[in-house]
Amino acid sequence: MNWQIHLPALVLAIPLLGAFAAPLAGLGGKHIRNAWFIFISVVTTVLTMLLWQKVAAGGPAVYVLGGQAWNLTLPSGLTWPIRIVLEVDAFGAFMAVVGGIVALAGAFFSLRFMEKFSGLDKFVSLYFLLVTGMLGMELTGDLFNFFVFLEIASVASFGLVAFWRDRPEAVEASFKYMVISTVAAMMVLIAIGFLYGRYNAVNMAAVGQMLHMGYAEKIALVFLVIALAMKCGTVPMHMWTPDAYTEAPAGVTCLLVGVSQAALYGLFRVCFSLYGASLDSVVVPWTIIVMGVLSMFIGVSMAVIQKEIKRLMAYHSVSQIGYILLGLGVGLLALRDPQAMADYGFTAMKGGIYHIINYTVYKGLLFLTAGALYYAAGSRNLNELGGLARVMPQTTFMFVIAAAAIAGLPPFNGFVSKLLIYESTFAVYPILAVMALVTSVLTLASFVKVFQTAFLGPAKAKFAHVTEAPGSMILGMSILTVVIIGLTLFPTWALSHLVEPAAKALVDQAGYIAAVMGGGL
């Protein structure tokens, strides 16, 4: 039997094994634990890539957990699946690859960044639980299972954000994130309860096939959209983001960027694959577009005035999420109109999905460079930093690449996805494209400020001892830099092999349903 049929399950099982075996690896000492940390991260990333390759070659992959056969979704003449089914289409596989890359970069970076702290066995366990939660949200085809993975990711995040528990700010940030996340998780659970009550099923494909809009379905949609929009840091529910992203260790913040994309994945999976053709009004698409525009502008406005480097970058995360919401919101708006989808909707979706990978890698890299500055200079305050380009040339080089990419400067990858979003949203309402352009200008302005105050300027006597970040931290940053440069130099390949299949899978609700409801065999 070809072992690759088990890839959907392996992608989840390996980091889960990594999490539970981390304390055992820790018994062998620091080197064994670190080797385990990197080994599991590398294997997980490779598996996500193999899964993507399998899906790209053979179409959506389904995997039945605990069933008679791994691919028998409807055994014994059942009309809908009763077991947990993992369903991986091109969009899910794309998201898993993105998540795997940032998890690997964060792991390499964390080796030296975290070494002076205690409790690292727990750190590695929580890190892999967070990876499992993130990947589970992206691979599952089951609503309740999605909730379970969402909670695994949330609980692991609370622990990791408060990992530096001697810092009151970290504990406070984690507590605030926990409070709002728990309320949102209850909303997700209630929404799933509504759908289960109506259709006696929690499989997304089965519910998607039967779904007809009524009051229960509308309330479930509202709860799911708002809760998942909150989890990815959308205005006006974004306020936990700067707190949590700032206080988490840098490697974890890099991973949290990927986790926020898993919530975004959930939002669009619900809108496109669960509701899809049943969405009979423009209220939800326009809500997503408006939240996207507000996130872009308010996020960047707040970023401009920050003087704490990670807080500034966290507000930019809110802003960049706005671009993705705008692109995919316009795609959702055009979903029921084939002409609009052909004219601008599909281009907007490609822009939004391309921005997911672009944003994840350059924002992950920016957080890692901020962590490298903190590690080397002992401060995250831009008023105190300065003149560090002389002593940290490699970090500076990678910061410049990431900053140029996030600001949408040509020829970097951020420019290509933003160009697709600008041109397609202009066709809907020109003001949307204008807001996106203004946001881009302000993004550039605030990263010029970071570059000027942290890296340029005269050398400061208090940083005379500062040296370049250690090799493993540079390696973590280099992984993301290489991905950025690859996406910059080969945008056509990225669009045709990564982005377009993902966008097509997302709009193909019938294909998503058929992969499970066709029986699976």
Partner 1 sequence: MWSKVYTGFGFWDVYTWIIFFALAAGLVLWLRSMGRSDYKKGTEQDEIFYGSNEVPEDGEDIQVPASSAYWGFVEALQPYYEKLLQIHTGIANDYVGYLVVTTGILAVLVLI
Site residues (vs partner 1, CB under 8 A): 175-176, 179-180, 183-184, 187, 215, 218-219, 221-223, 225-226, 230, 236-237, 239-240, 243, 281, 283-284, 287, 298, 301-302, 304-305, 307, 343-344, 347, 382-383, 386-387, 410-411, 415-416, 419-420, 423-424, 426-427, 445, 449-450, 452-453, 457-462, 488-493, 495
Closest CA to 417 of 338, 491, 499, 354: 354
d(CA 203, CA 68) in angstroms, rounded, equals: 18
Closer of 234 and 472 to partner 1 (Cβ): 234
Q: Helix or strand or coil: residue 280?
A: coil
d(CA 450, CA 457) in angstroms, rounded, equals: 11
The two three-digit tokens of residue 328, written as one number: 């995919």
Minimum CB distance to partner 1, residue 163 (Å):
20
Closest CA to 257 of 303, 337, 307, 324: 324
Minimum CB distance to partner 1, residue 420 (Å):
6
Closest CA to 421 of 292, 291, 311: 292
Minimum CB distance to partner 1, residue 214 (Å):
11
Closer of 7 and 356 to partner 1 (Cβ): 356
Are 437 and 422 a contacting pair, CB within 8 Å?
A: yes
Q: What's the residue count for the chain?
A: 521
Minimum CB distance to partner 1, residue 407 (Å):
15
> How many C-beta atoms surround the C-beta of residue 80 within 10 A?
18
Closer of 6 and 218 to partner 1 (Cβ): 218
Minimum CB distance to partner 1, residue 130 (Å):
21
Closer of 18 and 501 to partner 1 (Cβ): 501
**Residue 357: C-alpha distances to residues 9, 99, 113, 348 (Å):** 23, 9, 25, 15
Closer of 28 and 338 to partner 1 (Cβ): 338
**What does the DSSP 8-state code read for residue 93?**
H
Minimum CB distance to partner 1, residue 422 (Å):
9
The amino acid occupying position 119 is G
Minimum CB distance to partner 1, residue 312 (Å):
9
d(CA 315, CA 300) in angstroms, rounded, equals: 6
Token pair 């039997």 in the structure block, residue: 1
> How many C-beta atoms surround the C-beta of residue 31 within 10 A?
9
* Strand stretches in 103-152, DSSP E: none
Minimum CB distance to partner 1, residue 290 (Å):
10
**What does the DSSP 8-state code read for residue 120?**
H
What DSSP assignment string belongs to 35-56?
HHHHHHHHHHHHHHHHHHHHHH
Closer of 32 and 183 to partner 1 (Cβ): 183
Minimum CB distance to partner 1, residue 306 (Å):
8
Closer of 388 and 513 to partner 1 (Cβ): 388
Closer of 91 and 346 to partner 1 (Cβ): 346
Closer of 148 and 459 to partner 1 (Cβ): 459
